[in-house]
Structure formats: structure tokens, C-alpha cells
A and B are shown apart, each in its own frame.
Chain A
Amino acid sequence: MSVADTIPEIDTEEARRIRKRQIERVARWTMPIVVMFVTLVTWDWIVTANAIPHYILPSPRNVWDSLTGDWDILFDSAILTGRITLMALGLAVLGGAGLAILFNQSKMLEMSFYPYAVILQVTPVVSIAPLIFIYVDSKVAGMLLCAWLVAFFPVLSSTTLGLNSVDHNLRDLFRIYGATRWQRLTMLQLPSALPYFLGGLKIAGGLSLIGAVVAELVAGTGGVGTGLAFRIQEAGYRLNIARMFAALSLVAAMGVFIFAALSLISHMLLHKWHESALKRDH
């Protein structure tokens, strides 16, 4: 019998590593669910054991009833908030990426306006929002502007970084082959910037939801229907705490949905070639 025959193909260390990986794969999904379950049970127990009235802290059961009972109202509100959020995100992509390309093509333009983009970004939107609604008559336009203001900057700054991160040798290569400015932009800079842009987009997705919520809180309803943020505020005035929780969970769910959708888009665009999408085994 040769030496090779006596050695099992998987040694104990390798077996342990494989087992660990299997456990981790399952745990990635089950553990958060377990945590949620434990939290809900504990929450329910605290409310029942201490006989806390529902207008102070509703039980998970109350929240669920509110979510299902008020579904029509809440769903309409979610649609409204969602629409503002997505439109703002769309405008943030157009504005942010457009400005980044413009700045990249003209250094003068970048030097002139980039500082003001930073100032717009660092000024809290809550403090700008009331001003916006003084000068912008249309509530929808005002809300869009608010959400856009918070969301466009990550797209702008990450795309700018990406456009400037082109490999120097590739840039030289394009010059040697006599590439036009347009060819350099479309065939070299934009693909180079894509991973950076997508990183900025994920941040912008969350921020546009925040922007939309803030805008709603400042704007009130004013005849354009009622968004989720206003529902939360309204339910608060009425001490309908269960509905506050229900609306809040919908806002959170929207945020998760946006993030997941953008992550999926990012994965689809990058998985073939980008390092970030590489799977490492060990």
C-alpha cells in the first residue's frame, strides 16, 4: 500500500473548515431571524407582564393589527413616499453623475462650483427645508428638491473620484492610439468610474429616503396626499402608537428594499469583472 492511499483526501483541519463554512452559510440567514423572534417575544412579555397600556407601548400584536387593519391608508402613503424617494434618487443620479462628468471635462468648472456642492451637502437639510417651501409653491417639487439635495452629493463625489481613478498606463495607451475626448470618456473613464458610482448610488438610495421623509415632515400634507412620515406624525398626535410603529416599519422596509435592489443592480453590473465581486475561498 502506497503512502498516498493511507492519507484520507480530507484531513481533520480541512473537514473542520468545511463544516464551519456550512454553519456560517445557514447562520447568516437564521441568526437575524432568531434575534427578531426573541426580541418580539421579549417585547410582548414586557408589555403583558407590566400591563403597559397600548397608547404608551403597544404589543407586537397591536402593531401587526394596525399594519393589517390600516393597510389601505398605510400602503397609499408608502406609495407616495416611495414615489418621491425614487424620483429624487433618479434626479440625484442624473444631477450627480452629470455634474461629475461636467466637472471632469472642465477643471475650471470644477474649481468654481465643487466647494458650493460641498456647502450644500454639509448644511443639514432639515434647516434648508423650511426655506425651500417658502419659495417653491409646488409641494411635490419642494419635496423632490429636499430629497435631491441630500442624495446627489454621494453620487457626485464618488463618480468624480471614479472618473479621476483611471489607470495611468491605460490613459497613456488611449493617447498613443489617438483616442478622442469622447472615446476616452465613454470607453475608459465611465467604465472605470462605474464601481465608484455604484458605491455612491447605494448611499444615495438611503439618503433620498431620508430626504423625502424630512421633506414630508416639514411640508405637511397640503393636498398632495399623505406620505408615511406624515402618517407617523399624525398618529403621534392621536396617541395611536401602534400605527406609528406600523408606519415606521414600512419606512424601514422601504429602506431595506431600496438597498437590496441597488445591491442587486451593482452585483449584476460588476460580477463579471470587478474585484469587489470576487469570491475568495480561504
Chain B
Amino acid sequence: MSLVTTPGALAPLNERPRLLTMDRVDKVFGGDVVALRGMHLDVNEGDFISLLGPSGCGKSTALRLIAGLMQPTAGRIDWEGGQHRGDLGVVFQEPTLMPWATVAQNVSLPFRLRGKSHSSVRDDVKEALDLVGLGKFANSYPRELSGGMKMRVSIARAMVTHPRLILMDEPFAALDEITRFKLNNDLLELKQKIGCTVIFVTHSVFESVFLSDRIVVMAARPGRVIREVQVDEPYPRDEDFRTSADYAAHCRAASDALHEAMGDAA
């Protein structure tokens, strides 16, 4: 099965089928630290959602809850049709590659953990690596790659199993701006090609506006959703979008919402 789907037009925001619902989710640490309070989030198929907010607003906690790495204190997280193995791909802030394994072995990890051999998934791995532009580096070791290339490997690993949802936790925060812009462009292109759903944690207004069609703005203490800003602009988006008046207007709206969130916390 190929990663690349026939690129049908993305359904309008309010007509997309539901993928996952976070329903009034609380997360409390140690009995008194409220990381999330009553978080509600509907995730629809094809959405590119950014969770935007100051540090401590619980965006990473929300991601970890969706990933199943922790259980909510109250509330529910429901997958439409139930959650299955391979539904999720994850990209962390660090590339999080196994340094002792080659690039191809790193990308085939999700398959191998499901009991498939490395050789039986060689074609899938090759396709994923070609998609992120690293087809020639299959046999390199991570330490031979630049920071941006490592992140591409991490993205290839996240999408190699055709997951329904890809979670990204500030994946480009540690990269320089030129690399970050390039990876933002490539990420949109990739999403367009493989037609997956993405939840993207960031604290950059500009990044969230450029990438997503829904920006969920969160506030801290307790972590909660303040407002949702929709960026109803067509994909593909390119450098022209980055300099357009619409882009500036959306940035303004997201920025205002973020200020509201920060003001609340102060």
C-alpha cells in the first residue's frame, strides 16, 4: 500500500468526519497541580490542529493524553471506531532516533515492534524516506545527519505506518529559522500527499498560522482551552501565503487570542 493517496480536495472544516473527541478532560498531578481543566477538543479527519499557548498551559499534557502515555483524571478520550495499533505516529521535540541503528532501521521501528521483519517492510521504509527527501541516506547513522535531516527521519518514522493521526510536540523548536521554514513547507506538502490528520504543539504564532487550519489557543494555571482560531485558507500554502495580508490578519487574530491567554495567567 502506498503512502501517497489520491489527492482529493480537503472537505470544508465543518464537514469533516470525526476522528477523535476529548471530552471534558481533567489531568491533575500529585493531587493538587491541575495541568488540564475541562479540556474539550473535537478532532476531525484531515484537520491540521495547532495547540498554541504559553509554557505550562498543558499542551504537551494534552498530547500525552491523546498518545495514551497517561490517563485522564476525569473525562474521556474517544476514538471514532475505537483506537487500533498503528493509528498514531509521534514526533517529539528531539528527533529521538536510536543512535545505534541506521536511518532505515529507525524508520522501520514501528513495524518491527509489531513483529514484522525489517526486510518485509523495506519498500514502505524506502517510500517514506523518499517522501522526506532522504532516500539516499537509508544506510547512514543518525550522527552523520544534520539536525534538520534527523527531524525528517523522525517524521518519516511517524508516517510510515499510515497512521490516522500524527502528534507533533514542538518538533521544529530547536532548529534554526531557515531549516524551520523549509521543514514547515515540506510538512504541508507531505500532509497534502498522504492525507493524514495532525495535532501540532507550538508556541509560535507564525508557525501555527502557516501550518494549520485550526488553532486551539490555551491558557495556563489551570491549563484550558481559551479560544479556537480558524485559518480557513486553502492548501497548498507557499511562500506567497507567508507574505500575504490574509496571513498577517490571521497572525493578528491568533496573537490577540494568545495575549488574552497570557493576560489570564498573569
Task: Judge if B113 is at the interface, Cβ distance under 8 Å.
Answer: yes
Contacting pair B113 A183 (CB below 8 A): yes
Q: Which residues of the partner chain A approach B85 to less than 8 Å between Cβ atoms? A: 177-178
If the complex has contacts A178-B113, A179-B113, A273-B100, are A173 and B143 also in contact, measured as CB distance less than 8 A? no
A188 to B112, CA, bound (A): 12
Task: Judge if A4 is at the interface, Cβ distance under 8 Å.
Answer: no
Which one of A167, A176, A274 lies within 8 Å of B67 (CB-CB)?
A176
Task: Judge if B109 is at the interface, Cβ distance under 8 Å.
Answer: yes
Q: Mark B80-124, 1 if CB is under 8 A from A, else 0.
A: 000001001010101010111100000001101110000000000
If the complex has contacts A194-B100, A272-B141, A273-B141, are A169 and B94 also in contact, measured as CB distance less than 8 A? yes
A179 to B96, CA, bound (A): 16
Contacting pair B96 A278 (CB below 8 A): no
A177 to B114, CA, bound (A): 8
Q: Which residues of the partner chain B approach A167 to less than 8 Å between Cβ atoms? A: 94, 96
Contacting pair B100 A173 (CB below 8 A): no
Task: Judge if B33 is at the interface, Cβ distance under 8 Å.
Answer: no
Task: Judge if B266 is at the interface, Cβ distance under 8 Å.
Answer: no
Which residue of the partner chain B has the closest CB to A275?
Answer: B143
Task: Judge if B17 is at the interface, Cβ distance under 8 Å.
Answer: no
Contacting pair A177 B110 (CB below 8 A): yes
A200 to B109, CA, bound (A): 29
Q: Which residues of the partner chain A approach B94 to less than 8 Å between Cβ atoms? A: 167, 169
Task: Judge if A79 is at the interface, Cβ distance under 8 Å.
Answer: no
Task: Judge if A61 is at the interface, Cβ distance under 8 Å.
Answer: no
A169 to B142, CA, bound (A): 16
What is the CB-to-nearest-CB distance from B265 to chain A, in angstroms, rounded to a whole number? 27
If the complex has contacts A167-B96, A273-B143, A278-B143, are A173 and B90 also in contact, measured as CB distance less than 8 A? yes
Which one of B69, B99, B101 lies within 8 Å of A172 (CB-CB)?
B69
B-contacting residues, A177-215, CB 8 Å: 177-179, 183, 187-188, 191, 194
Contacting pair A176 B141 (CB below 8 A): no
If the complex has contacts A174-B113, A176-B90, A177-B110, are A191 and B98 also in contact, measured as CB distance less than 8 A? yes
Q: Which residues of the partner chain B approach A172 to less than 8 Å between Cβ atoms? A: 64, 67, 69, 90, 92
A278 to B99, CA, bound (A): 13
**Contact-residue bracket for chain A:** 20 to 34
Task: Judge if A136 is at the interface, Cβ distance under 8 Å.
Answer: no
What is the CB-to-nearest-CB distance from B237 to chain A, in angstroms, rounded to a whole number? 29
Q: Which residues of the partner chain B approach A176 to less than 8 Å between Cβ atoms? A: 67-69, 88, 90
Task: Judge if A265 is at the interface, Cβ distance under 8 Å.
Answer: no
Task: Judge if A170 is at the interface, Cβ distance under 8 Å.
Answer: yes
What is the CB-to-nearest-CB distance from B226 to chain A, in angstroms, rounded to a whole number? 27
Contacting pair A273 B88 (CB below 8 A): no
Which residue of the partner chain A has the closest CB to B90?
Answer: A176
Q: Which residues of the partner chain B approach A275 to less than 8 Å between Cβ atoms? A: 143
B-contacting residues, A25-57, CB 8 Å: none
Taking each of A172, A176, A183, which has the highest tally of chain B beta carbons within 10 Å of its own beta carbon? A176
A276 to B141, CA, bound (A): 15
Q: Which residues of the partner chain B approach A179 to less than 8 Å between Cβ atoms? A: 113
What is the CB-to-nearest-CB distance from A188 to chain B, in angstroms, rounded to a whole number? 7
A35 to B113, CA, bound (A): 56
If the complex has contacts A172-B69, A176-B68, are A274 and B99 also in contact, measured as CB distance less than 8 A? yes
Task: Judge if A175 is at the interface, Cβ distance under 8 Å.
Answer: yes
Which residue of the partner chain B has the closest CB to A190?
Answer: B100
Which one of B96, B112, B114 lies within 8 Å of A173 (CB-CB)?
B96
What is the CB-to-nearest-CB distance from A187 to chain B, in angstroms, rounded to a whole number? 7
Which one of A169, A177, A187 lies within 8 Å of B96 (CB-CB)?
A169
What is the CB-to-nearest-CB distance from A90 to chain B, in angstroms, rounded to a whole number? 24
What is the CB-to-nearest-CB distance from B36 to chain A, in angstroms, rounded to a whole number? 18
A15 to B113, CA, bound (A): 52
Q: Which residues of the partner chain B approach A178 to less than 8 Å between Cβ atoms? A: 85, 113-114
Which residue of the partner chain B has the closest CB to A172?
Answer: B69
Instruction: Beyond the given A174-B113, A191-B101, please list 7 additional residue pairs across the A-B interface where CB-CB is below 8 A.
Output: A173-B90, A177-B109, A178-B114, A191-B98, A273-B141, A273-B142, A278-B143
A-B contact pairs, 29 of them (CB 8 A): A169-B92, A169-B94, A169-B96, A172-B64, A172-B69, A172-B92, A173-B92, A173-B96, A174-B113, A175-B68, A175-B69, A176-B67, A176-B68, A176-B88, A177-B85, A177-B110, A178-B85, A178-B113, A183-B113, A187-B109, A187-B112, A187-B113, A188-B98, A191-B98, A194-B100, A273-B100, A273-B141, A274-B99, A278-B143
Which chain A residues have a beta carbon within 8 Å of chain B's beta carbons? 167, 169-170, 172-179, 183, 187-188, 191, 194, 272-275, 278
The 10 closest A-B pairs by CB, nearest first: A169-B96, A177-B113, A169-B92, A191-B100, A179-B113, A273-B100, A273-B99, A273-B141, A177-B110, A176-B67
